[in-house]
Structure 1
Amino acid sequence: MSEVNTKPQIKSDKPKKSPAREWFDSILFAVVAATLIRWLFMEAFTIPTPSMERSLMVGDFLFVSKLHYGTRTPRTPLQVPLTHQKIWGTEIPSFSDAIQLPSFRLPGFTHVKNGDIVVFNFPTEEQYPPDLRTNYIKRCIGIPGDVVEVRHRQVYVNGKETQNPPRMQLSYFLETTNPDLNDTFFRQFDIVNDYRKGSETYNWQPIEQYNDSTKANALVGYKLVTNAETIEKFRQFDWCKKIVPYDEERPAKPSPYSQIYGGALMNWTIDNFGPLTVPKKGVTIKLDSVNIALYGTVIQKYEDNGKVEVTPTQITVDGKPVTSYTFKQDYYFMMGDNRHNSYDSRYWGFVPEDHIVGKAVFIWMSIDPNPESFWNKIRWNRLFRIIE
């Protein structure tokens, strides 16, 4: 006896998706999911310059957490998903600034602290909206209200000497009797020159001096960019006569051509800088000539004050002179760990709070752009390293 299916048959009027439609839906879902993850939780970055060596190396691939400091709401909503400034592989802008929204920050589980390695939008890049400016990565040296100072290359915060990053790099002069030091030798100590087009970096280079007796240039030593641990190793070689640090002293008087923050009013250098107070939300300052030189750009460009005009002796807001000012948001002072090869707050000033992107948390891949051989292309010892 055969069985009979007595269950009612349900016929669906919904048409079956075509393969093309299924592919489209899958891609759309992936793009939406990736966009939300990138905006809310985590974003991948790569290190293109040596300003954070050797804490971060050129060719490091890292993840940056948006959750630590809180995710920013989009200021420029009209943008192609998963792009930044331009559409991939073209010079076509990936956004329209026809709509600009106020920026808010969702709650995070911490705040930017001294010593954090932070990704932020470069403040002075005015051709882009604030949330689409080029991403920079530096170490936070001063938080709102801190007094930052550099004395003979050593950083002080609020009058106290700070602990230097363990892999921080500085410039040194090595006087030697050995004329045969070369790339192979220096590479043993991770002192490598980067000859990429348009961004040459000389972490070692010979220094020559004219010799009157031979009527020719003669090698006297090498200029090195490295860390203190490596310098101590060099001191053990018998051909090492001496190693001295480069220290850019304060000039006798301010130079009107100085590119250091503070301009012609301050006689600061990258190695002898400050003291400088980092602006803090709610703090009021008197607008004298010194404070105008130090904070006039902040008031004019980052505080949404309307029409602001700044002269060496006066600031006007919408045509009205102001003699004091209360900051509307917090600011931060950033420096690269490669202290003599970093374009940072010593040159261009403070990072506004609404420019903070996130905290660098770990390296997941590292590729040497100038390996000795194909087998050394991947830096295996840097994979899945927590960033300090």
Structure 2
Amino acid sequence: MSHKPSQNQQAKKTATSSPDLGTRLSNASRRQWVWFAVWGVATILFSLWVGSPWISLFILLFFDIYITKFVPWSFWKQSKNSTFRKTMEWVDAILFALIAVYFINTFFFQNYQIPTSSLEKSLLVGDFLAVSKMSYGPRAPITPLSFPLAQHTMPVVGGKSYIDKPQWKYRRLKGFGEVKRNDIVVFNFPTGDTVALNQQGTDFYLLSKYNPNGSAGVRSDKRTYGEIVYRPVDRRENYVKRCIGLPGETIELKDDAVYIDGTRLPNPRLSQHNYMIHTDGTIISPDVFKELAVNKGDYLKYDAYGQIVIHSQDLTGADSLSMAWNRLYPRNGNNGRVYFNIPLTDGMVEQLKAKPFVWDVIKEKEQPGQAYYYPLNYETGWTRDTFGPLWIPKKGATIHFDSDTDFKVAAYERCIKNYEGNDFAYRDGKVYINGQPADSYTFQFDYYFMMGDNRHNSADSRVWGFVPEDHIVGQPMLIWLSLEKDNNWFNGKIRWKRLFRSAKIPA
């Protein structure tokens, strides 16, 4: 015997059932339709920009959020438990903020703090920059699953801030322009692919070069070096330098002057070099250095007892040969006092020379094999001041291994192997790429030559080589905060005059 529901039961079922699609569409307010239209148009435009039609499927998500509401996205708002509602309000706000920050950080802007003096006096240690990713086109995520605002390490708790897989291929979206000469550029540190966690401030490849057992010795000595980790391209440390050489050009330094394709390139207006300051024996006071805007770390050193002292040398009793070697000469039997490794701009040099107690200000010269360890130094004897000529690889250009093979291998092996993902070997004067003998190679990326304005205190392309195009992050646009590390909060910690200034410092 069949059982039919009563009229009251049918009415109750109809009253409690969800409205159909037509009812939901007719019940949607004008405000809901406006918000859906805004997000729908934004999704379509973003899909066209990125070049992925799959992104347009998010329109269906927004249609349900604002119009149909089949999925109870805000179910927690109906809960009678006030604690649960408050908790979910925070969770909802935090999730929205994280998604928004991830989106903005990936495609539009990123914060960056200047950690070293390599660009002084153009950009200062303690400058906080807003870096535009639109300047050169944002790079589509290579390691998409990562925590917002953390480059490679989770704040406070430590550990990796990203998940290794999936790894997407490099692709750059349309931007406002391309990298130009003298642009200040933020990029991922090219040789930061492998890192010793206990010594992250030192290039792993330099650590391996100095270890008697090479990279195997570094990997086995966990007490000294810690764990050895690999970082994907977009998770490597961020660096900032000035672009000096462009793809396809030949760069050369002669006596610290830069030449591009044989034409001399003027030094940046605020570039610095290391000088010796020779005085009549007078100790230069901290006030004089402060007046010159020389950082404390540039003239203060530690003595054998750990005490901070002004780094200078009394030349009384110094032999004439060592003084002449450094181009220092006594006056009236007085050898004077000398300060070493003081970074100065041309303007600062003139200010010092005007001091009555200063005899001379002499630019320091680096000797071959002294301080810079770009791999080519071992082949050529180049220094930071005398370097090149060196051709910068260009996408689509081909090099041939029919002459100067040792030099070309030293110059371009890392590009071919590490950046463009080929197996590379060099045996008995013959190059093998992906297991096959190779007489030539065609580059897949454009490369750039980066240098710091603080020319004698900058680890840059003279040290670790070229910057591939897939490592380019963006261009600094604005200094939104600047903190002086030598001062406290009540005595000039904030450099007010630098706030909200353009970070596009011309050369």
- Specify every segment of 5 or more residues in structure 1 that has no aligned partner in the other structure, as ranges: 1-9
CA separation of 1:212/1:260 partners in 2, compared to 1, >3 Å: closer, same or farther?
closer
After TM superposition, the structure 1 = structure 2 runs for residues 27-176 of structure 1, keeping only pairs within 5 Å, are: 27-126=94-193, 127-176=230-279
Question: For 1:284 and 1:88, how far apart are their aligned partners in 2?
Answer: 44
Residue 269 of structure 1: aligned partner: 383
Match status 1:339 vs 2:445: no
Question: For 1:108 and 1:292, how far apart are their aligned partners in 2?
Answer: 34
Q: TM-score, with normalisation over the residues of structure 2?
A: 0.68
Question: For 1:283 and 1:235, how far apart are their aligned partners in 2?
Answer: 49
**Kept in 2: contact 1:124–1:348 (CA 8 A):** yes
Match status 1:221 vs 2:338: yes
Match status 1:291 vs 2:394: no
CA separation of 1:256/1:82 partners in 2, compared to 1, >3 Å: closer, same or farther?
closer
- Deviation track 1:212-237 (CA, whole Å, cap 9, x = no partner) reads 69xxxx85222221100110111112
2:442 corresponds, among 316, 322, 326, to 326
- Deviation track 1:122-170 (CA, whole Å, cap 9, x = no partner) reads 1111221111000010000101011111111111111111122121110
Q: Which has the larger radius of gyration?
A: 2
CA separation of 1:312/1:133 partners in 2, compared to 1, >3 Å: closer, same or farther?
farther
CA separation of 1:273/1:54 partners in 2, compared to 1, >3 Å: closer, same or farther?
same
Residue 16 of structure 1: aligned partner: 78
2:392 corresponds, among 278, 281, 290, to 278
CA separation of 1:345/1:63 partners in 2, compared to 1, >3 Å: closer, same or farther?
same
- Deviation track 1:232-261 (CA, whole Å, cap 9, x = no partner) reads 111112222111111225x4xxx6997134
After TM superposition, the structure 1 = structure 2 runs for residues 299-378 of structure 1, keeping only pairs within 5 Å, are: 299-305=416-422, 307-311=423-427, 313-371=429-487, 374-378=490-494
Q: Select the structure with the greater relative contact order (CA < 8 A; seq sep ≥ 6).
A: 1
Q: Equivalent pairs: percent with the same residue?
A: 39
> What SS does the corresponding residue of 2:312 show, helix, strand or coil?
strand
Query: Quick one: which amino acid aligns to residue 98 of structure 2?
Result: V
Query: Quick one: which amino acid aligns to residue 282 of structure 1?
Result: G
**Kept in 2: contact 1:263–1:293 (CA 8 A):** no
Question: For 1:28 and 1:49, how far apart are their aligned partners in 2?
Answer: 34
> What SS does the corresponding residue of 2:157 show, helix, strand or coil?
coil
Q: CA deviation at 1:184?
A: 2.1
After TM superposition, the structure 1 = structure 2 runs for residues 170-209 of structure 1, keeping only pairs within 5 Å, are: 170-194=273-297, 205-209=311-315
Q: TM-score, with normalisation over the residues of structure 1?
A: 0.88
The structure whose residues are more often strand, as a share, is 1
- Specify every segment of 5 or more residues in structure 2 that has no aligned partner in the other structure, as ranges: 1-26, 28-68, 80-84, 194-229, 303-307, 320-334
- Deviation track 1:80-130 (CA, whole Å, cap 9, x = no partner) reads 233211111233111121321101000111100110000111111122111
**Kept in 2: contact 1:131–1:355 (CA 8 A):** yes
Match status 1:241 vs 2:359: yes
> What SS does the corresponding residue of 1:370 show, helix, strand or coil?
coil
The structure whose residues are more often helix, as a share, is 2
Q: CA deviation at 1:319?
A: 1.5
Question: For 1:333 and 1:65, how far apart are their aligned partners in 2?
Answer: 20
> What SS does the corresponding residue of 1:175 show, helix, strand or coil?
strand
Q: CA deviation at 1:298?
A: 1.1
CA separation of 1:74/1:372 partners in 2, compared to 1, >3 Å: closer, same or farther?
closer
Q: Which moved more, 1:287-296 or 1:346-355?
A: 287-296
Q: CA deviation at 1:36?
A: 0.8
Q: Which moved more, 1:310-319 or 1:269-278?
A: 310-319
CA separation of 1:240/1:82 partners in 2, compared to 1, >3 Å: closer, same or farther?
closer
**Kept in 2: contact 1:206–1:219 (CA 8 A):** no
Query: Quick one: which amino acid aligns to residue 392 of structure 2?
Result: V
Question: For 2:399 and 2:243, how far apart are their aligned partners in 1?
Answer: 23
CA separation of 1:364/1:258 partners in 2, compared to 1, >3 Å: closer, same or farther?
closer
Query: Quick one: which amino acid aligns to residue 237 of structure 1?
Result: K
Question: For 2:301 and 2:151, how far apart are their aligned partners in 1?
Answer: 23
CA separation of 1:280/1:212 partners in 2, compared to 1, >3 Å: closer, same or farther?
closer
Question: For 1:300 and 1:381, how far apart are their aligned partners in 2?
Answer: 46
CA separation of 1:96/1:314 partners in 2, compared to 1, >3 Å: closer, same or farther?
farther
Residue 5 of structure 1: aligned partner: none
